[in-house]
Amino acid sequence: MTQLIFLPHDEICPEGLVIEVEPGVTVCDAALAEGIEIEHACEKSCACTTCHVIVREGFDSLEEADELEEDMLDKAWGLEPESRLSCQAVVGEVDLVIEIPKYTINQVSENH
């Protein structure tokens, strides 16, 4: 089992959460299964950036993002070198520390 350590997020998981998952599941599916309501406006089809996360530890253990994911990430709010779309990031054997950004593109556009 691999540990996913979600850092605290004011709205989605204020206390943070540590979960154990089988390798092969996506970060998004793992989070949703544990009640962490990561946005996924495109229904996990790699057509938006609402499920953007930053992998603070364990990033190099993930398979590289494909070109479509890279193109979508370019549009994400708060993009960092360790950014991934959680619907595309498949958990491997290495524990991950995951930060859910404060905003998504959807939230930024709603607030302005």
Residue 27 backbone class (left: φ over 0; alpha: ψ -120 to 50; beta: rest): alpha
Distance, CA of 77 to CA of 107 (rounded, Å): 10
Give the residue among 3, 41, 35 at the shortest CA–CA distance from 19: 3
Q: Is the dihedral of CA 31, 34, 36, 42 positive or negative?
A: positive
**pLDDT for residue 102:** 87
- Domain holding 100: CATH number? 3.10.20.30
Domain encompassing residue 41: 2-110
Q: What band does 104 get if pLDDT is binned at 50, 70 and 90?
A: confident
| Per-residue pLDDT tens digits for 27-61 | 999 999 999 999 999 999 999 999 999 999 999 99
Edge-to-edge, what's the strand order for the sheet holding 2-6? 17-21, 2-6, 96-99, 52-57, 83-85
Higher pLDDT, 100 or 110: 100
Residues 58-75 have a mean pLDDT of 96
The number of distinct structural domains making up the chain is 1
